[in-house]
């Protein structure tokens, strides 16, 4: 299948700082990228959907000013967690898809720990 690379795989940051997570589609053009959050032993919670060149669509209850999403090119989307707090500690996963009918391929995830 297609390859989606997510970086970093693990990050520890201090409370109040910002963290940027990158999601790259390596061998296809991702017209749409998705960002998820996952708590231990739980399902994926969709945070936002981003289409290349346009503003992200956030799910209800997700603070767009706190979780900044940029999808500047067809191969890169970034999620910036601003002013991180310990409750933001979680596993963040991106996925990328070409077109509306394509399969979504997932990055390997980023374990964020805010101390």
Picking from 46, 114, 106, the residue whose alpha carbon sits closest to that of residue 82 is 114
Q: Are strands 67-73 and 90-97 parallel, antiparallel or unpaired?
A: unpaired
CB closer to other proteins out of 29 and 83 = 29
Q: Which of 13, 44, 68, 74 binds other proteins (CB under 8 A)?
A: 44
CB closer to other proteins out of 45 and 82 = 45
CB closer to other proteins out of 80 and 104 = 104
Q: Does 108 bind other proteins (CB under 8 A)?
A: yes
What is the DSSP secondary-structure string of 40-107? TTS-EEEEEEEETTSPPEEPTT--TTTEEEEEEETTEEEEEE-S--GGG-EEEEEEEESTTTSPPEE-
Shortest reach from residue 83's CB to other proteins, in Å: 26
Binding residues vs other proteins (CB under 8 A): 1, 4, 6, 32, 34, 41-44, 46, 49, 57, 91, 93, 95, 97, 100-101, 103-109, 111
């Amino acid at each position: 299948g297609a390859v989606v690379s997510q970086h970093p795989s693990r990050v520890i940051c201090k409370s109040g700082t910002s963290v940027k997570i990158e999601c790259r589609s390596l061998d296809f053009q991702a017209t749409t990228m998705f960002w998820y959050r996952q708590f231990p032993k739980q399902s994926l919670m969709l945070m936002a959907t981003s289409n290349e060149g346009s503003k992200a669509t956030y799910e209800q209850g997700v603070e767009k000013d706190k979780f900044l999403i940029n999808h500047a090119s067809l191969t890169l989307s970034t999620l910036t967690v601003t002013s991180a707090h310990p409750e933001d500690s979680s596993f963040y996963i991106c996925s990328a898809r070409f077109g509306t009918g394509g399969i979504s391929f997932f990055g390997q995830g980023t374990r964020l720990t805010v101390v």
